[in-house]
Each structure stands twice: as structure tokens, then as C-alpha cells.
Structure 1
């Protein structure tokens, strides 16, 4: 029993005509008649007494129609209330991000976000450690990840931007040790590595 069928039943009860109800609901008369029959079959009773000249409510219909009207009214009220609640964004938003991403990407965006949503309070956790989203009650984490490395079924992630990688060396170092031409050449070089989360790998 679906809502459209119930709406057909109520309109038939109001207009005392399947054809008039179908016209009002912009559907064919056979479709409206089929909807009415589905409801009656689900209930196991006839809601209308049909004759060649008139259509009127049966005793079961007289009891059922008012309750059906009340039920649909409550459903519509609930839909409107939910819609109103969804239009309001409030509460606390907890964001975790790497320190450089937080400074360069998140913080400039926060002022604009909070102007649009003044009812939201934001708690920003800037850290280069791998924060546990569940233990620390984090809503959103902005992380550096390799393609295919997000394999936690409890998390949902998507790419928001590309972050270029930059490898630096002083001219004196390159004069002494040469210029690496391929990432695997780095194994023969000295380096100061900053490990971010757990994404530093051997070449």
C-alpha cells in the first residue's frame, strides 16, 4: 500500500467519483481504479459501494477514510518539519587536518563558512600525527593519501585537490653528488625526511 494509492482513495471519497478523482490527480481512470482496488485488497474490505448511478462510502470506508486522512496529514507534517530542520545547519563540527593543509587550505575557508553558518562552532585539530577519527570524535579529516590506500570500510573519502610534491637540494649538494634523474636514484643520496602519517615509503 503506497501513498499515491491512499491519495487516490481520499480523492475518490471526496469527489464520489473515480473519474473525477483521476482527472484531479492527472492520471487515467483505469489507473485510479486499480489504485483503489489495491487498497481494498490490502485491507480485505470494500471501501465504496458501487452502483451504476452512484458511488458512496461503505461502513468500513466511513471508518477508514477519516483515519487515513489523519495519517497522511501527520506524514505531511513530519515531512515539513524534517525539511525545516535540514534547512538549519548548527552544532559543532570537528575537523582534523595536517598542519600545512590546515594553515593554507582550511583556515582561509573557515571564516567564509562560519559567516554562512553562524550557528556552527568549529573545532580544528591541526596535527601531523594520524588522528583516530572514532576515538577523537572527528567529523571530517583532511589527509594526504595515496590512490587506493583508503581501505577502511567505516570511512568514506573523496579527493578535494591535488597536492604537488617538491624535492629540494642545495646547489652545492648537487655539484658534489650529482642530480638524480629518477626517483630510484634517491636511494644513493642523503636526505632529511619528514614523515607525514604513515605514507613515507622506500623507493
Structure 2
């Protein structure tokens, strides 16, 4: 089935004329496109494309394969569509994993709404900040921050505009020196996330070409993002987290954003699976639903920040 998926990617790449355009159309990374084409060329022992820095065109072998693959994939898709129609309405079981903070504070409520729309769906949800091995564990899809480093995975964007944001409870900020520059964080208690031997204590900011990375310190760390979030709500210190995770608290003023005139690190959110076969009508419907929810959530907090005269989020 992986070869079939590679053939599909080959046809789409030929149609769109570049790896990057095909990646956008298929909602995967350019690296995943490149890896699929390389696997296919290795298996066939021929070059399918002639590549240059500005163009991409088929070889004679590539043109021959394109004709046959287009016809074959169309026939296969017709068979799949017939099976889908026979299965009836969207339903079945989805096994998924998600980060703790995103899962508890956003995903649980969204899944409740999703189940109201599609009552024949059941969900098995695993919340953990460790990265699940989708090849060894019985997980259909995973919600993850950042582009997966494994190009073999299919990564569907949920919120590509998401970034990190520095914030703290008003009760904490009222008692401490003002934070006007990133280096001011050195005088503050910062709450950090730690996974295995990696500590997330290097916080980066950019303004007018000036890049600053601050090595923060604090008296609380946890391997659970939601725990760090809750410490911030208790007024224990500053956090540097996903805007999506903190949006509700910012809108209710339980957390106050700081350093908004500085651009922060990207924190895109993806729905990841091991193979496009997992993207059946049910998981595809879930992807579109969650994508809409994430974008709506982000737009709401952006409007709030604008209306309350905060600096615009970059």
C-alpha cells in the first residue's frame, strides 16, 4: 500500500509541476513528497523527473508511468468510493493521541461537539506530552506541535499560524518588576516544560531584526504541559506556551500577555498519521472539524488583543 501511496504522490507532483506545490495540495511536507518520489525511483531503478533549481519535468519513463498510473489510480479510487458508499454514514472508532494541555483544555470539548454531529463515532483518546510511536502503537492519528521530523508521516495542518506567547497571571505581574524586554525575564520566575533530558528554557524573540534567546530559570518544572499552565494560573510565574493553549485564559484575563511587540517562535499544530489509508471519511471529517475550530479559536484571541489595544500578534 505504501507503493500505491507513492504512485498517488507521483501523479500529483507531475500535475502540479513542483514538490512544493504538490505538498500544498496534499497537505504534507515537501520532504514527504521528495521521499515518496525517491522510493518509487529506487524501486523502478529509473529517474522519473529531471530536476533543476527552477523547473521539474518528467523523463520519458516518467511520462510512460504517468499515463498508466493515472488510469490505474482512477480505477482504484472508484472501488474505494464504492466501499465507502457501502459503509454508509461516517462512523466507527478513532484512536488518537494529543498533548496534555491541548487535549484537556480544548480537544475534549471539541470532540464532544464532534460526537453530537456524528453520533456513530467513538473515540479512544490518549493524553501525553511524550511523542507516541505511531508505527508501534495502535494509534490512528496524533495531534502534534511542529512539523514532524519523520518525513514518512502524513502531516495535515490544523493551525499553521499558531505561535508561542509569553504570559503570566496578573497577581504575579503586580508584585514583580515590569517585563519590557526579553532579558527582563532573567529577573523573573519562569515555569518550564521538561521532557526526558530536554528542558524548554530557551525562549526566543525577534523584533526589527534583533533576535534574543533568553535562558530562563524558575522553581517549577514539569513533564506535563497542562501542569505548567496551571502553575501560571496560580500566579507562580511566567510561561511561554502555544497561543491556542492560553487563549481562553487571556480572553478571561486570568493570564496577561507580555512582550507582544516581539515576534515569538512558530508553534504550528498538525494532525499526523502513518499512512494516507488512515484518512478515511471519518478521520477526514475530524481533520476538517478540528482545523476550523483551531482557526476560529486563534482568530478570537487575536480580536481580543486588538480590541484591548495590545500589539498585534505577528
Q: TM-score range by the shorter chain?
A: 0.3 to 0.5
Task: Tell me the TM-score normalized by structure 1.
Answer: 0.46
| Higher relative contact order (Cα pairs below 8 Å, separated by 6+ residues) | 2
Higher percent of residues as strand: 2
